[in-house]
């Protein structure tokens, strides 16, 4: 069976397992007060070109979104995002659970938000006669890559950031799969760029080779007051924090993090090209990252499912579904070659 359903159904990257094994017998401080966490933070700060970045390690993406937004938002403020944004769809209402409203922008097939539409929404909020009866938008949430694997150019982020600043909003970047953007063909966004152009972002580990872990970055000492207490109160403070630190220390040694992204992205490009080459399916949107969304007929889906595991993402039309194919650090050239044999014969 070939597995292209998920980038977290595999284990951890061997380099991480190696260090886990090497350091397991050591004594270390708890809750992230340990030398591995310190070193990881230092490496991330260097990668971000921001010696003053505040960095916190968490376990997963939903909790990173929920706790950071909760701590950054005042009770009367809300967060703006695409209707397809992860926080709006796949987090079981975790943001609303903390009492905050999500305000949605118009929908686009590439999953990105548009600066002009953002400007209209924020301006209308500012000019509303009854604005003291309304939730005040205060953070704009984007994902890089988006839910559909697409990426923003640095120019696009800059413009969004300008709109945010113009309306006293902060920019939050969900980077649960950030490595796959950093490694993408045509990408010109860097960690340094993010540290300059957003107010909070996180570097996803869980979906990029770690056993778990997300590194939340507040550039330039901008962590919300008492952020540690928010983490504890949300129930997401990890006791043996050394292991999250150790993983990010490894991911940020010798460029491992980006190289995982490049590896998976390259194989994903091959993958989608094979679908096109053999006339099996067309991508619903051009994605340069490790997630490919391909339109497949019901017949093709059925046949392909005999040998390949992938995810049905949604309905395209009466006869077709949008299917998701995902690569990861553990995907190999051989997997792609085997897929080619299967597609060729369909």
Does 147 bind a second copy (CB under 8 A)? Our answer is: no
Strands (E), 271-310: 282-283, 291-297, 308-309
- Interacting positions 114-143 with a second copy (CB under 8 A): 129-130, 132-136
Window 16-45: residues binding a second copy (CB under 8 A): 17, 20-21, 23-30
CB 59 within 8 A of CB 67: no
Question: 209: closest CA among 329, 65, 36?
Answer: 329
- Please give the backbone phi and psi of residue 266, each rounded to the nearest 5 degrees, phi first: -60, -45
The answer to whether residue 312 forms part of the interface with a second copy (CB under 8 A) is yes
Least separation in angstroms between residue 262's CB and a second copy is 21
Any idea of the CA torsion for 13, 16, 17, 21, to the nearest 10 degrees? 170
What are the C-alpha distances in Å from 21 to residues 30, 171, 253?
18, 38, 17
Judge contact between 224 and 200, C-beta under 8 A.
no
67 binds a second copy (CB under 8 A): yes
Closest to a second copy by CB, 157 vs 169, is 169
User: Which token pair is 20?
Assistant: 């886990």
| Window 183 to 212, contacts with a second copy (CB under 8 A) | 206-207, 211-212
By CB under 8 A, how many residues form the interface with a second copy? 77
Instruction: Determine the angle formed by the axes of helices 333-344 and 256-277, rounding to 10 degrees.
Output: 10
Radius of gyration of the chain (CA): 20
Q: Does 76 bind a second copy (CB under 8 A)?
A: yes
Distance CA 172, CA 157 (A): 11
Near a second copy by CB under 8 A, which window of 6-14, 36-44, 292-300, 338-346? 6-14
235 is an interface residue for a second copy by CB under 8 A: yes
238, 248, 275, 310: which one binds a second copy (CB under 8 A): 238
Contact between 237 and a second copy by CB under 8 A: the answer reads yes
The answer to whether residue 334 forms part of the interface with a second copy (CB under 8 A) is: no
Using CA atoms, how far residue 286 sits from 205, 291, 331, in Å, is 24, 10, 20
Least distance in angstroms from the C-beta of 100 to a second copy = 6
Tell me whether residue 337 is exposed, middle or buried, using C-beta atoms within 10 angstroms of its C-beta: 0 to 12, 13 to 18, 19 or more. Answer: exposed
Q: Binding to a second copy (CB under 8 A): which residues in 89-118?
A: 89-94, 96-102, 104
* Closer of 33 and 341 to a second copy (Cβ): 33
- Is residue 170 close enough to count as binding a second copy by CB under 8 A? no
Among 40, 44, 55, 66, binds a second copy (CB under 8 A): 66
The answer to the question of residue 232 lying near a second copy (CB under 8 A) is yes
């Amino acid at each position: 069976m070939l597995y292209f359903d998920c980038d977290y159904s595999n284990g951890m990257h061997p380099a991480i397992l190696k260090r886990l094994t090497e350091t397991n017998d050591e004594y270390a401080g708890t809750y992230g007060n340990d030398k591995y966490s310190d070193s990881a933070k230092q490496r991330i700060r260097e990668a971000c070109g921001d010696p003053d970045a505040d960095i916190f390690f968490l376990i997963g993406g939903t909790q990173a979104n929920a706790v950071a937004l909760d701590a950054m938002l005042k009770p009367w403020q809300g967060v703006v995002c695409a209707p397809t944004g992860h926080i709006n769809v796949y987090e079981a209402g975790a943001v609303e659970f903390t009492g905050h409203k999500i305000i949605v922008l118009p929908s686009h097939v590439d999953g990105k938000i548009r600066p002009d539409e953002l400007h209209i929404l924020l301006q209308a909020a500012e000019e509303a006669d009854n604005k003291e009866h309304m939730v005040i938008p205060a953070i704009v949430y984007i994902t890089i890559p988006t839910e559909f694997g697409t990426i923003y150019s640095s120019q696009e982020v800059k413009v969004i950031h300008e709109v945010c600043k113009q309306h006293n909003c902060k920019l939050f970047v969900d980077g649960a799969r950030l490595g796959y953007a950093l490694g993408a063909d045509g990408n010109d966004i860097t960690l340094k760029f993010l540290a300059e152009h957003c107010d909070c972002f996180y570097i996803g580990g869980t979906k990029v080779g770690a056993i778990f872990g997300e590194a939340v970055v507040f550039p330039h000492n901008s962590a919300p007051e008492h952020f540690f207490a928010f983490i504890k109160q949300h129930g997401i403070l990890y006791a043996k924090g050394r292991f999250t630190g150790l993983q990010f220390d490894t991911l940020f040694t010798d460029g491992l993090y980006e190289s995982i992204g490049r590896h998976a992205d390259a194989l994903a490009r091959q993958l989608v090209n094979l679908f096109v080459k053999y006339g099996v399916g067309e991508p619903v949107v051009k994605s340069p990252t490790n997630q490919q969304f391909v339109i497949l007929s019901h017949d093709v889906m059925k046949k392909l499912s005999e040998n390949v595991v992938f995810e049905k993402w949604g309905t395209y039309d009466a006869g077709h579904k949008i299917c998701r194919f995902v690569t990861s650090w553990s995907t190999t050239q051989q997997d792609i070659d085997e897929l080619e044999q299967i597609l060729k014969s369909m």
